[in-house]
Amino acid sequence: MIREDELKQGPRAERRLDVSAVGSLSALAGMRAEWNALLDASDAGPFNAWEWLYPWCRRIEPGRRPFVLTARDAAGTLMGLWPLGLETRRVAGIPVRRLGFLGETHVGSDYLDVVARRGMEREVGQVFARMLEALREDWDVLDLTDLRSDSVTVEVLREVFSGDDVRLSERYICPYETFAPGESFDAFLKRTGRRDNYLRRRKWLEKQEGYRIERTEAPGALAGPMTDFFRLHASRWAEDGGSQGIKGTGVEAFHRDATQLLAERGRLRLYTMKVGGRAVASVYGLVHARGFVYFQSGYDPDWRSRSVGLVLVGETFKDALEAGLTEYDFLRGTERYKSDWVTKQRHTVSVRVHAGTRASRWFSRSEELARKTRNAVKYALPGTLVEKVRRLRRRRAAVD
């Protein structure tokens, strides 16, 4: 079992950084202020925020033990943290001790990573990796999902652990766009594939009685807009068997908590389009490090022919440019509508590190066998039947 006293007395390759661990939800709850200060001084992604990970622990995985590594300098200042959790999974009766990111499941957290002060990413990553290497008898598998492919953490793990113990696999493509300094919305529109359709659809909507777009960011004003968002998101995905991004009351409770906390930090942007007093489209976004992050959306299917989703996305671009933001990130997924708005792509990866134990080898062999079985079934079934199976699984998951 990993103990905090072992961490404090572990290897000191970087003597000026003291490594310890936060191992309880109550201790994690008290880290908000210094976690925020560190995140603001880093280049880490938006879903490494305390306001995202703390409610994830409470609502999504309350049984998982936090194992947040922290690195402090001689003055006690937090210089880095690694938001991990420890769980035990049973594979064919064999217990496997697995370390993974907090926030890794159910809520679509891209760009999870070590959070380190700008310029200290390698140093902090190395001291964390060496600590885990020294404690490898106390865990079996380190599973890290959805890091950016250019993450320093990937390089560090390859350096500290032997090549045979580290496995890398591709995850998602994340489309995004950067804005030129002082770029206007009109100038941006001219370089997109949606300009004419957006302008035509917006012009029609502006003539409708009661048309307006509301932007909600105040912590005390979220209840109504979030209710509209959940309804519109569910409606959008109903005909496809249900949403894979937001499903179940636990996930909805998480988002109500997270949006409240993010709004308190000025990081939330919730856009609602209304016509005749009724919400017909919604976009749930975040502001992080001078960029807008498009997280999820929804719309009323009865208004699909009027392109309400297209117009509202365009309005979020307009708002981002007018606010002086420098980037717009669509996160994971290569849907056509994204490529019509943006031209750049990032990639995410997963990294698995084996501790060299019997359980770790068995864990990976079992997962590989399961993956091959799933692929064999997929290729044996007609394409239309495969899609029906997927929709049925989504419906069942939504009910559960």
pLDDT in tens, 102-149: 999 999 999 999 999 999 999 999 999 999 999 999 999 999 999 999
**C-alpha distance across the termini of the chain, in Å:** 34
Are 156 and 14 spatial neighbours (Cβ–Cβ below 8 Å)? Answer: no
Same domain for 141 and 211, yes or no, is no
**pLDDT tens by residue, 320-355:** 999 999 999 999 999 999 999 999 999 999 999 999
Same domain for 194 and 123, yes or no, is no
Residue written as tokens 């594979």? 91
**Which pLDDT score, from 0 to 100, does residue 241 have?**
79
Q: Domain range spanning residue 254?
A: 180-325
Q: Nearest-CA neighbor of 129 among 171, 170, 84?
A: 84
Residue 341 belongs to a domain: no
**pLDDT tens by residue, 236-245:** 998 887 888 8
CATH value at residue 97:
3.40.630.30
Residue type for position 296? Q
Q: Classify strands 212-216 and 166-178 as parallel, antiparallel or unpaired.
A: unpaired
Confidence of residue 399 (pLDDT cuts 50, 70, 90): very low
Same domain for 108 and 219, yes or no, is no
Same domain for 167 and 228, yes or no, is no
Residue 388 belongs to a domain: no
Residue 185 belongs to a domain: yes
Tokens of residue 90, six digits: 């049973």
Q: Is the pLDDT of residue 248 over 60?
A: yes
**pLDDT tens by residue, 51-85:** 999 999 999 999 999 999 999 999 999 999 999 99
Residue 195 belongs to a domain: yes
Number of domains in the chain: 2
Rounded percentage of the chain residues whose pLDDT exceeds 70: 86
Whether this prediction's pTM lies above 0.75 is answered by yes
Classify residue 100 by its DSSP letter: E
Integer Rg of the chain from CA: 22
**Which pLDDT score, from 0 to 100, does residue 383 have?**
58
Residue 302 belongs to a domain: yes
Residue 334 belongs to a domain: no
- pLDDT (mean) for 83-92: 92
Same domain for 135 and 236, yes or no, is no
Same domain for 17 and 119, yes or no, is yes
